[in-house]
Structure 1
Amino acid sequence: MASKAASPFKRTLFTLLKIGIYATILGLIAVAVAVGVAMSSLPSYGELVRRDDLGQMIRVRAADNSILLSLGPSFGEWLPYSEIPPIMRNAMIAVEDRRFRSHPGVDPIGFARAVKVRIDRGRWTQGGSTITQQLARNIFLSNSRTFGRKMREAILALALERRFTKDQILELYLNRVYFGGGAYGIDAASRRFFGHSAQQLSLSEAAIIAGLVKAPSNYSPTADAEAARGRAGVVIQSMLEYEFITASEAAAAEPARVELVPPPKQNSVRYFTDWVLPQLDTLIDESVEPIDVFTTLDPGMQRVADQAVNANTPRALQGALVSLDRDGAVRAMVGGKNYVDSLYNRATQATRQPGSAFKLFVYLSALESGHKPDDVVVDSPVNINGWSPRNNDRVFRGPIPLRQAFAQSINTISAKLGEEVGFRTVADMAQRFGITTKVNTQPSMVLGTSDVRLLDMTRAFAAVARKGVAVSPYGIRRVTTAKGELLYSHETDDSRVLVAPWVAAQMTDLLQAAVLTGTGRAAQIGRPVAGKTGTTSSNKDGWFIGFSSAITTGVWMGRDDARPIPGLQGGRAPAQAWHDFMVQAVARRPVEPFDITVAQPEWQVETDAEVFSETSDGGMQVDADGNPIQPQDPAYGDPFPDAPAPPPGSPPPSREVNRPRLDEQQLDQEWIDRASKGRGELESEEPPEAVEPRALAA
């Protein structure tokens, strides 16, 4: 009865055993087929020696072609197995795969341990992978820890073991594995961390390198030198345990005394490279081959810029500087006092109020509309829709030349000019000159209440220095492959004219006056300088932007949290930093006097008398808009009885702002026809040369 009862159980057990055997056989066949397929698709040994699949190497070069920065993977020499020090080979085997010489590519014991940990912890860990499996993962797979990836890794490892010898596998591994700090392969790691070839590795150095594989980011000497040395001690103990070294050799090893090459300093150059490198995506399509990026940065000017910012920026404040050459090439860029402390680039990313530096656009608009530097304007109280700006010294100077108003940064005059030309016109002028942030059109905008970037403001001043031609800042001159193939070359655009040359010349006249006699006197460097200070309300920001000898430089100082700074003014620390930088930046450049007498085109210099002198009109006079006016005859009386008298010795002010205008119905159409016959349409704006020095209405 017992045998009959046991018989079904035995049959079931036997059936399950057979199924298991068949499944195992089928599984082995499937694995064999998979390994065979994998073997047939594996690259050749020569192809695996190439390491261009590890990422793109980028070398960033300065204007003198010196290397500013190397990014991406760093490769040393490829060392054949026979040239790899035995101490390095043994150190890697001891810590990563002690049964490397005996397993077929997959270590069953290690795999079983990894499965147990997977069940216990609910996730895969690094343990269990052989050197061959790690090589397969590094070359062909991702680092995801899934069962499917582990199976593919195992199949590829078996295929690699069938295709290559153990020595070849270890050679590939030691020359391709990542050791942190951007270094791939033992030679790159040795040069990166110890400053010499891997062929000269000591036991302690080999132990440090071998210990990095487990966690390159955590144990890398560039990240944590003490952790790297501590991990090396574990490697040495493993080498002693598996008899790769003797006890005396282990005792003599002193990883703690190994001298490490200090990592390169993260100086202010990184502000510049962080700005230019993202631009590669729009300039070139190459993303695999190693490339050289040749930039515009002048290393000497960059050092001086860094010194000028740090020496002049008060404690607890930040400073930024950007310097452009005539064509827009960025010669120096400092985004903060210390790149290690703060990666935030205040030259290209920060948006702050420019204060009076924004008056550049107010006066450009006024000059373009017909004003001239010698025009007499009235510094007096002003009220624009309830807004009444005051001058910094609370003084009203009365009638003064426009040049003096700009040099002394008179707020009331800027307000009146803005109202006269239109605040929208001023905003349009700012955007025309390269301001990329939003510009408001409230009356107070003329005093610089819209946030701007230092780079944008500097390019605007550079366009004035370039006689009205637009300046586009750029940092990349050309890009080539490592073999010298040209991928990109910068071409300067000289076609965009922002304002007429005579407008730029007159603006330069005003900017020069600001440095010679106005708020920017601290920026004088013994050669022609044109520039403007900027100070915001409550002294939150200080600016100085100016140009000399074809170099335009902008400086900003302030706090990142925009808190007030007592005593901060654009004419002090920022102007001094500008001075200290520019004295050396232009030292080897020829002195370039400013051309502030650019001739205006003929149609601009015609006087009203020349434009409207047709005898057929019976001698009738017209105003700037073409409206007939009464002749200046005693019989008519003074048509401008309320105009203020000009100061002694100054030219009489023009009164056109308040000039009475006849109703359109009073116009003699026949006279208009005669006056415009043969001349085309009348100009909608008066020619600048015909404008008398004017007094703006209070």
Structure 2
Amino acid sequence: MPAPKSPSPRRAGRWLRNLFRIGLIAFAAAVVALVIAVGVTMASLPSFPAMMQKPNGQTVRVHAADGTLIVSLGPSYGDWLPYDRIAPVMRDAMVAVEDRRFYSHFGIDPIGIARMFYVAKRLHDEGRRLQGGSTITQQLARNLFLSSNYTYGRKIREALLALALERKFSKQQILELYLNRVYFGGGAYGIDAAARKFFGHPGDHLSLAEASIIAGLVKAPSHYSPSADPQAAVDRARVVLDVMQDAGAITPAQAERAHPEAVTFAPEPKQNSVRYFTDWALAQLDTLVDDQNAPLDVWTTLDLRMQKAADDAIHRTTPAGLQAALVSMENDGAVRAMVGGTDYVSSIYNRATQSVRQPGSAFKLFVYLTALEGGVKPGDPVVDQPVTIDGWSPRNSSRKYLGQIDVRNAFAFSINTVAAQIGQKVGFASIADMAHRFGISTPINTHPSMVLGTSDVRLLDMTRAFASISANGVAVQPYGILKVSTPDGTVLYQHQAGEPRVLVAPFVAAEMTDLLQTAVNTGTARAAQIGRPVAGKTGTTSSNKDGWFLGFSSGLTTGVWMGRDDAKPIPGLQGGRNPAQAFSAYMQVALNTRPVQQFDTQVTLPEWQLEPDDEAYYGDPNQQFSNDEGDTAPAADQPETPPQPTVPLDESVAQPPADEVPPRVAVQRQPGTPPRIDQRWLDDVLRDQRQPAQAPPPR
């Protein structure tokens, strides 16, 4: 059989020529398409002056009540530095470390791409994403026009934009744009902003060591930032110096003399307690204004003098190892000072607004409010005696019972058995309703022990409740922002006082104030005295885990909490000690420019002591209970039953005439049948009683 004929050399040559022609045509078509694409992209690029404009990024300038700028948040851009004002060592450092062949390529570096693909497989095998390979021009294109999402489509667009940029602008213009727009960390965009932030001087004169530090930040701004890790920044700078020496940008002698470790970094602005307030206030911006991109000026209620006083008081009175929080507000809800912890730098967690803790006896505010609204009077007799409710037996820490006393003294010395009897009488659900009515936003249990403050609450909510008593029973809504405007003065938001909402009748608030000021005059809260009329209440939880004091004077209400974040017991922590002392130290400064305001009720009580506010249980030792700071029981030569107040309650001020008292309020509730009091019930009862209350203007 004859062998098959092999292709003739002529036919094979013709096939190769055709293949070459097809490839040449395809290549020419691709080049034409690329040229057209680059041309179209180049035509769509902004002009050089347009690209000098600062990029979008919301800057928020926060002002105190007096207009003082307290913090500026958002990106910082510094001054634009033309190419000839940029230090040569800065230009050389950036080119050496980011794009060594910058002056020789046309926007894309073929050698760099080849090297990138050479290591791509190894990185893929190690489970890491391919990094690097981008020229300075490509990085500029990405920073100006693209996102940081790593996709092949984005890389193609990035390369196309880089080619167009190289065709439209000179190398000097591209490097100028890059150095003024690249992100260096810490909110700083451009070398001038970076130099000012990290070194405290403009970016037009930089030493070799400073330039190496800045150039080293581009790779990982957050990791190498001098603000976060100065040593990491110095170590990275040494790498940059080695690269510059290898590229021939500097000599070995210059690299040796650079000494980046000797560079003095600008100190970071102190992140003091003001940031607790700004974090809380600025979180409300989303609900107040729609524009989330334009620069904003935010004018707040914060009083810097009061804030400093609050910070000083907390630091002077908080025992080592404890956390503390303080909130202070006007009767209209304007927050004047806020401390959310002992150190914002170490912990940004705001214990004034976020933490929920048991309030102890401070919760008795709502127990006695419910009783007063039901017709109980401060001078009414009550009996301190053993009591058991559903198997629960509260006790007084003195292990003694004083027999018949009055409501005023039972509250002032935080007698637990009386609080339990009142809770059973008025109804635990009614007390929970009262707490929610006054702004407690957390769940309240209705077990009998709830009268001793076993439900978790927030300091801000408790302070708000006490402020509503100071405001004569009108609801107080805390706020921190007075006005939001644009830099040109256009007002985007202006705080407006809402319609007054009455929580309890004014005479009930006055009677509650009577009880609260008695607690400060002679009860558990005497450490909170400030040399002017003050009303308040202590609170301490089981095993001394939490200490509280909340009170008001001259239209200003302040709440203080102290404890540990892990809620471990703290020997000696009592609401009537450190928290009350912090309150006193702060209020004496905060109120020293205000006239003294007298309460509607002025009561003077004897200076002997009754009962430690040491709340405990008989029965289950694992139950949570409260025990405020204790005083000793009366001396042997003093009566077990305290005498009546030497100055009686001014009934004409404390309550309206008998014919004006709503029947539901005036009638004492019967045990076992407590009515459920809510806002609807109160609206019906007080429909004819209410008068619009004038809220004081923000201070």
Q: TM-score range by the shorter chain?
A: 0.7 to 0.9
Shift of 1:263: 1.6
Q: Secondary structure at the match of 1:555?
A: strand
CA contact (8 A) 2:59 2:74 kept: yes
Q: Is residue 555 of structure 2 the alignment partner of residue 553 of structure 1? A: no
User: Aligned AA for 2:122?
Assistant: D
Provide the C-alpha distance between the structure 2 equivalents of 1:606 and 1:583, rounded to a whole number of angstroms: 37
Uncovered stretches (5+) of structure 2, i.e. residues with no partner: 602-649, 673-683, 690-699
Q: Is residue 429 of structure 2 the alignment partner of residue 424 of structure 1? A: yes
Question: Aligned residue for 1:692?
Answer: none
Q: Is residue 223 of structure 2 the alignment partner of residue 218 of structure 1? A: yes
Q: Secondary structure at the match of 2:559?
A: strand
Find 1:40's aligned residue among 24, 40, 43. 43
Question: Aligned residue for 2:123?
Answer: 121
Q: Is residue 477 of structure 2 the alignment partner of residue 475 of structure 1? A: no
Question: Aligned residue for 2:66?
Answer: 64
The Cα RMSD (Å) is 2.6
Question: Which digits, 9 at most, give the CA deviation of each residue in 1:231-279, with x for residues without a partner?
Answer: 2223333333444344543333222211110222222222222212221
Larger deviation, residues 17-26 vs 3-12: 3-12
Question: Aligned residue for 1:51?
Answer: 54
Provide the C-alpha distance between the structure 1 equivalents of 2:195 and 2:414, rounded to a whole number of angstroms: 60
Q: Secondary structure at the match of 1:350?
A: coil
User: Aligned AA for 1:75?
Assistant: Y
Find 2:455's aligned residue among 450, 455, 458. 450
TM-score, with length taken from structure 2: 0.84
User: Taking structure 1 as reference, are residues 184 and 565 closer, same or farther at Cα in structure 2, changes over 3 Å only?
Assistant: same
Higher relative contact order (CA 8 A, sep 6+): 2
Q: Secondary structure at the match of 2:419?
A: helix
CA contact (8 A) 1:469 1:494 kept: no
Alignment of 1:504-653 (within 5 A): 504-596=509-601, 598=653, 600-602=655-657, 604=659
CA contact (8 A) 1:125 1:145 kept: no
Provide the C-alpha distance between the structure 2 equivalents of 1:371 and 1:20, rounded to a whole number of angstroms: 101
Larger deviation, residues 342-351 vs 527-536: 342-351
Shift of 1:170: 1.3
Question: Aligned residue for 1:412?
Answer: 417
Alignment of 1:359-508 (within 5 A): 359-508=364-513
CA contact (8 A) 1:52 1:288 kept: no
Question: Aligned residue for 1:110?
Answer: 112
Q: Secondary structure at the match of 1:553?
A: strand
Q: Among all aligned residue pairs of Structure 1 and Structure 2, give the percentage whose two residues are the same amino acid.
A: 62
CA contact (8 A) 1:124 1:146 kept: no
Find 1:325's aligned residue among 301, 311, 330. 330
Question: Which digits, 9 at most, give the CA deviation of each residue in 1:259-313, with x for residues without a partner?
Answer: 1102222222222222122211111111111112222222232222223223322
Provide the C-alpha distance between the structure 2 equivalents of 1:157 and 1:521, rounded to a whole number of angstroms: 74
User: Aligned AA for 1:392?
Assistant: S
Query: Which has the larger Rg?
Result: 1
Shift of 1:432: 0.6
Question: Which digits, 9 at most, give the CA deviation of each residue in 1:1-42, with x for residues without a partner?
Answer: 997366666555545444433332222222222222222322
Question: Aligned residue for 2:99?
Answer: 97
User: Taking structure 1 as reference, are residues 284 and 684 closer, same or farther at Cα in structure 2, changes over 3 Å only?
Assistant: closer
Provide the C-alpha distance between the structure 2 equivalents of 1:57 and 1:204, rounded to a whole number of angstroms: 31
Q: Is residue 283 of structure 2 the alignment partner of residue 286 of structure 1? A: no
Shift of 1:470: 0.9
Q: Secondary structure at the match of 1:319?
A: strand
User: Taking structure 1 as reference, are residues 607 and 342 closer, same or farther at Cα in structure 2, changes over 3 Å only?
Assistant: closer
Question: Which digits, 9 at most, give the CA deviation of each residue in 1:495-554, with x for residues without a partner?
Answer: 111111111111111100000010001111111110001112222211110111221111
Question: Aligned residue for 1:4?
Answer: 7
Question: Aligned residue for 1:79?
Answer: 81
Q: Secondary structure at the match of 1:179?
A: strand
Provide the C-alpha distance between the structure 2 equivalents of 1:482 and 1:112, rounded to a whole number of angstroms: 49
Question: Which digits, 9 at most, give the CA deviation of each residue in 1:120-151, with x for residues without a partner?
Answer: 32265442211110000111112222222111
Provide the C-alpha distance between the structure 2 equivalents of 1:658 and 1:40, rounded to a whole number of angstroms: 86
Question: Aligned residue for 2:238?
Answer: 233
Q: Secondary structure at the match of 1:389?
A: strand
CA contact (8 A) 1:114 1:124 kept: no
Q: Secondary structure at the match of 1:200?
A: coil
Q: Secondary structure at the match of 1:455?
A: helix
Question: Aligned residue for 2:310?
Answer: 305
User: Aligned AA for 1:529?
Assistant: V
CA contact (8 A) 1:292 1:479 kept: yes
User: Taking structure 1 as reference, are residues 424 and 657 closer, same or farther at Cα in structure 2, changes over 3 Å only?
Assistant: closer
Provide the C-alpha distance between the structure 1 equivalents of 2:168 and 2:659, rounded to a whole number of angstroms: 84
Provide the C-alpha distance between the structure 1 equivalents of 2:33 and 2:671, rounded to a whole number of angstroms: 98
CA contact (8 A) 1:464 1:508 kept: yes
User: Aligned AA for 2:166?
Assistant: E
Question: Aligned residue for 1:25?
Answer: 28
CA contact (8 A) 1:460 1:471 kept: yes
Provide the C-alpha distance between the structure 2 equivalents of 1:58 and 1:294, rounded to a whole number of angstroms: 11
User: Taking structure 1 as reference, are residues 313 and 379 closer, same or farther at Cα in structure 2, changes over 3 Å only?
Assistant: same
User: Taking structure 1 as reference, are residues 127 and 537 closer, same or farther at Cα in structure 2, changes over 3 Å only?
Assistant: closer
Larger deviation, residues 22-31 vs 469-478: 22-31
User: Aligned AA for 1:592?
Assistant: Q
CA contact (8 A) 1:131 1:173 kept: yes
Q: Secondary structure at the match of 1:378?
A: strand
Alignment of 1:158-173 (within 5 A): 158-173=163-178
User: Aligned AA for 2:115?
Assistant: R
Question: Aligned residue for 2:605?
Answer: none
Provide the C-alpha distance between the structure 2 equivalents of 1:491 and 1:363, rounded to a whole number of angstroms: 32
Provide the C-alpha distance between the structure 2 equivalents of 1:84 and 1:684, rounded to a whole number of angstroms: 75
Shift of 1:206: 1.6
Q: Secondary structure at the match of 1:24?
A: helix
CA contact (8 A) 1:534 1:543 kept: yes
User: Aligned AA for 1:506?
Assistant: E
Larger deviation, residues 127-136 vs 235-244: 235-244
CA contact (8 A) 2:382 2:405 kept: yes
Provide the C-alpha distance between the structure 1 equivalents of 2:587 and 2:671, rounded to a whole number of angstroms: 45
Alignment of 1:237-256 (within 5 A): 237-256=242-261
Provide the C-alpha distance between the structure 2 equivalents of 1:286 and 1:66, rounded to a whole number of angstroms: 23
Provide the C-alpha distance between the structure 2 equivalents of 1:117 and 1:21, rounded to a whole number of angstroms: 31
Question: Aligned residue for 2:155?
Answer: 150
Tell me how many residue pairs correspond in the alignment: 619
Find 2:90's aligned residue among 88, 91, 96. 88
Shift of 1:98: 2.1
Shift of 1:562: 1.9
Uncovered stretches (5+) of structure 1, i.e. residues with no partner: 612-623, 626-653, 660-682, 689-698
Provide the C-alpha distance between the structure 2 equivalents of 1:156 and 1:391, rounded to a whole number of angstroms: 79
CA contact (8 A) 2:662 2:685 kept: no
Shift of 1:208: 1.4
Provide the C-alpha distance between the structure 1 equivalents of 2:576 and 2:9, rounded to a whole number of angstroms: 104
